[in-house]
Amino acid sequence: MFKKVLIANRGEIAVRIIRACREMGISTVAVYSEADKEALHTQLADEAICIGPAMAKDSYLNITNILSACVLTGADAIHPGFGFLSENPKFAKMCRQCNIKFIGPDYETIEWIGNKAKAREIMKSCNVPVVPGYEGKIRDEAHALELGKEIGYPVMIKAAAGGGGKGIRIANNDEEFLMGFKTAKAEAKACFGDDTLYLEKFVQKPKHIEFQILADEYGNVIHLGERECSMQRKNQKVLEEAPSNVLNEQLRAKMGEAAKMAALAVDYKNAGTIEFLFDKDNNFYFMEMNTRIQVEHPITEMITGIDLVKEQLKIACGKKLRFTQEDIKLKGHAIECRVNAEDPEHDFRPCPGTIEELCVPGGMGVRIDSAIYCGYKIPHCYDSMIAKVITFGENRNEAIVKMRRALAEFAVGGVKTNINFELSILDSKEFLEGDYDTSFLAEKMVKKDA
């Protein structure tokens, strides 16, 4: 096992990884920006080292500084968490060149699957269903428009190197297509440094269902069931639950096998997620693969009893999977609500500031993944998520009841949060009946932007 792991991340995921390492007897190194000097992950790790100024590009995205910190502290592995450099093939490659173990898949795999258009080609070659579309070279706007008409409106214009809901536009006619093509291209260039686009038929009112997979270095791949991630705002997940109430055992097995085929097709190693769109006729289509731990991984842990971060560490140091597919049994129901420092009354505007009062919920079946504390100053320069509330029950109703109770107890003074918005979702008829899709929040719950 590794002797020392550097966590190339911040916030609750850095704390989550530090805790797993401590339980396994592994020393940890926290890296931090100047804005995060007093952050919880710097206090919990065995060592902490500053890697640059507040802006992410100068610190958490600074490959040279992170690798230098790893060498300086003698860490033999890097866990990237999620976001930042977690899906950056250049970073994973440089780790290998520096003889530092990257806790994740090989850089070649990240490169293949990170390009969404290339990923579609790979999935089609191994008979994993994909949404009808075009992932070849688009010559210009006129060529793109011609392709859009062939696919048939509505069409999604998507960044090949995209993620996090960036570089995506939906077009319902020629005029919207041309405008969407220009803006998606510009956004893709600004966010990812790559303005390559591809086109997909827009699946109307789908569910977003993803499968967690684990794969070792010996060709063994298993899935750990699915997560229902359809509760989204602007392509960003707000609430997740597991398992999905629309899948029966036959569909779960079929989608799970497709997820495993997808992982095998790219020689995947470590933890990953295969994301599918699921339509009203029970058809499912590959959307993308995330080559990292997910924000919502705790709900899978709750219904399987498997610590995914510990499994990541074991796989990365060469151990075989200790489970077969037959060993995986889903038990009960889990829900995760993302608590953000934002103002739902004003277009979910981020609300950084100092936490003046804090009451964190607890009790049986309640888990809090967070890095906040009373007196903590939330920086303005990072994502607004400050905590994840996870509840577990014997069934969906019990998990909902526990989540309502937990959120009602959760008090954060000094900054605005989306806690009441999450409670309103839990009280909605559609959520209670499990009758919602990715369009639900935009159509039913969110006030239209001024």
For residues 123-138, give the mean pLDDT. 90
Q: Which pLDDT score is estimated for 448?
A: 55
- The pLDDT-based confidence of 126 (bands split at 50, 70, 90) is very high
Choose between 403 and 202: higher pLDDT.
Answer: 403
CA distances from 449 to 148, 219, 245, 249, 389 (A): 28, 48, 31, 41, 27
- What residue has token string 């258009």? 117
Q: Which pLDDT score is estimated for 449?
A: 46
Provide the β-strand partners of residue 276.
209, 286
Question: Quick check: 132 pLDDT over 90?
Answer: no
CA distances from 144 to 158, 167, 170, 193, 425 (A): 12, 15, 14, 20, 38
For residues 146-166, give the mean pLDDT. 88
Reported as a single tens digit per residue, the pLDDT across 338-356 is 999 999 999 999 999 999 9
Q: Which residues contact 146 (CB under 8 A, 6 or more apart)?
A: none
Question: Quick check: 162 pLDDT over 80?
Answer: no
Q: Which residues contact 407 (CB under 8 A, 6 or more apart)?
A: 337, 361, 389, 419, 422, 423, 426
Question: Quick check: 447 pLDDT over 80?
Answer: no
Reported as a single tens digit per residue, the pLDDT across 84-121 is 999 999 999 999 999 999 999 999 999 999 888 889 88
Active site residues per annotation: 292
Q: Which pLDDT score is estimated for 116?
A: 81
Q: Are 166 and 188 in contact (CB under 8 A)?
A: yes
Work out the percent of the chain whose per-residue pLDDT is above 70: 99
For residues 34-44, give the mean pLDDT. 98
Choose between 449 and 103: higher pLDDT.
Answer: 103
Reported as a single tens digit per residue, the pLDDT across 167-200 is 999 999 999 999 999 999 999 999 888 999 999 9
Q: Write down the mean pLDDT value for the chain.
A: 95
Q: Which pLDDT score is estimated for 450?
A: 37
Q: Which pLDDT score is estimated for 328?
A: 98
Q: Which pLDDT score is estimated for 142?
A: 94
Report DSSP state, residue 57. Answer: G
